[in-house]
Structure 1
Amino acid sequence: MSTPDLAEIQGPRKLGPLTPLVGHWEGDVGVDLSYHNDDDETGHTSYFEKASFTPIPGQENGRQKLWGLKYSMTAWRHGEEAMDPFHDEFGFLLWDKANGQVMRTVVFGRGIAIQAGGDAGPHDTVMNFDADPADPSYGVLQNRYLMQRAEIQGFTSSFTILDDQTFSYTSDLVLRLEQAGVTMHHTDQNTLRRVRRIHPGEA
């Protein structure tokens, strides 16, 4: 009787496609495309980023069972790593196995909250999260100031597992800018490498 290859043994994967993300990560090739108010122009910003994904207990909504991760992502402009970050977000990534759905519930410190989601299988290496302000399930909330000056009209993002130690992401906020009189895509992308694993029982 042959001994199975450990790499081929699959556990229950309660986290489904979110499983490979568990741990602490860093990435130094981030690129942000956004509108710069002070310069009244659109420009690119490169950045360094830290991210953390920690398992949470199973969540039940009646017959619905969700497994997931609480996460944070913080970014500093290159050359400003010793200063305050220019981006900070907290949220949850959730897996609904029965309905084949992944969800990204995220809060930005700018007064923005987004619930985005999409279809996914338990072993998918690409996860897509979409939100529309008109969608009561996967939608967008923002404070009144931003609604009047930089209204979010759509949000799409994806996480791609490249290998056991690397993942990349993209995000795209469609904004209607009152001052510039245009609609633009505020995009972010980065590739991060794992710097520390987290045991599922770790807080």
Structure 2
Amino acid sequence: MTTTAETPETPETPDLSEIRGPQKLGPLTPLVGEWEGDIGVDLSYHNDDDETSHTSYFEKASFSPIPVQENGQQTLWGLNYSMTAWRHGEEGMDPFHDEIGFLLWDKINGQVMRNVVFGRGIAILAGSDAGPHDRELHFDAKPGDPSYGILQNKYLMERAEIKDFTSSFTIVDDETFSYTSDLTLRLVAAGVTMHHTDKNTLHRVKRFHPSEA
């Protein structure tokens, strides 16, 4: 009896866009690089005009990986970042908003964190639960919270106290992300509580690569 050798099946060539390595940065992985966005909208109180109004803006953002951080048994991977915004028509002048900080990923505990400092004398550590492949990340903080809290200088505390901070980053696709940010403020002089909100959509203009100088 004759037997015919079976031809081994050739494995299909995988779609390179679907191949993912360990992704130590977890859900922060898509943010690495430099970004620009030109459809920003800021809603805030303007002291000079004594009114709350909208401002449109152009923005630049940069996210770069940092060395692994180890707190005892806790391991954090993350990015240092900066976001700077100019009002439309004032791109050649001083920016009206600037922030620097870290985005951190705690894989074991399933947490993302945004450790941000604003040039107005405000520091916030915000965070929430997250999975390694989540496309929408939430960063929340409240004054007095022992983990995710808010600090601000005495002047602001007496006149425009921050009562709540909520923010989210949404990965739209490999080259686009959007964000929203909301500060709830108690304006002492006016005796009211108001929201200071920002939102924008940014597009990647540069990827980082180890071969770059």
Out of 71, 81, 88, which is 2:81 matched to?
71
Shift of 1:201: 8.0
Query: 1:23, 1:52 within 8 Å by CA — same for their partners in 2?
Result: yes
Structure 2: gaps of 5 or more residues: 1-9
Shift of 1:198: 1.0
* Residues in 1 aligned to 2:107 and 2:143: alpha-carbon distance in whole angstroms: 25
Aligned to 1:37: 47
Query: 1:54, 1:200 within 8 Å by CA — same for their partners in 2?
Result: no
* Residues in 1 aligned to 2:26 and 2:135: alpha-carbon distance in whole angstroms: 10
Instruction: Pick closer, same or farther for the CA change 1:174–1:86 going to 2, 3 Å.
Output: same
Q: CA RMSD in A?
A: 1.2
Alignment of 1:120-159 (within 5 A): 120-159=130-169
* Residues in 1 aligned to 2:211 and 2:21: alpha-carbon distance in whole angstroms: 16
Alignment of 1:44-193 (within 5 A): 44-193=54-203
Query: 1:28, 1:47 within 8 Å by CA — same for their partners in 2?
Result: yes
2:125 partner letter: Q
* Residues in 2 aligned to 1:158 and 1:200: alpha-carbon distance in whole angstroms: 29
**Identity %, equivalent residues:** 80
* Residues in 1 aligned to 2:130 and 2:139: alpha-carbon distance in whole angstroms: 10
Aligned to 1:17: 27
Structure 1: gaps of 5 or more residues: none
SS in 2 for 1:57: coil
SS in 1 for 2:67: strand
Shift of 1:134: 2.0
Shift of 1:179: 2.1
Shift of 1:93: 0.2
Q: List structure 1 runs of 4+ shifted beyond 4 angstroms.
A: 200-203
* Residues in 2 aligned to 1:24 and 1:10: alpha-carbon distance in whole angstroms: 21
- Bigger-Rg structure (1/2): 2
Shift of 1:10: 1.1
1:101 partner letter: Q
Instruction: Pick closer, same or farther for the CA change 1:202–1:99 going to 2, 3 Å.
Output: farther
Which of the two has greater strand per residue?
1
User: Number of residue pairs matched?
Assistant: 203
SS in 2 for 1:184: strand
1:54 partner letter: S
1:83 partner letter: M
* Residues in 1 aligned to 2:80 and 2:210: alpha-carbon distance in whole angstroms: 12
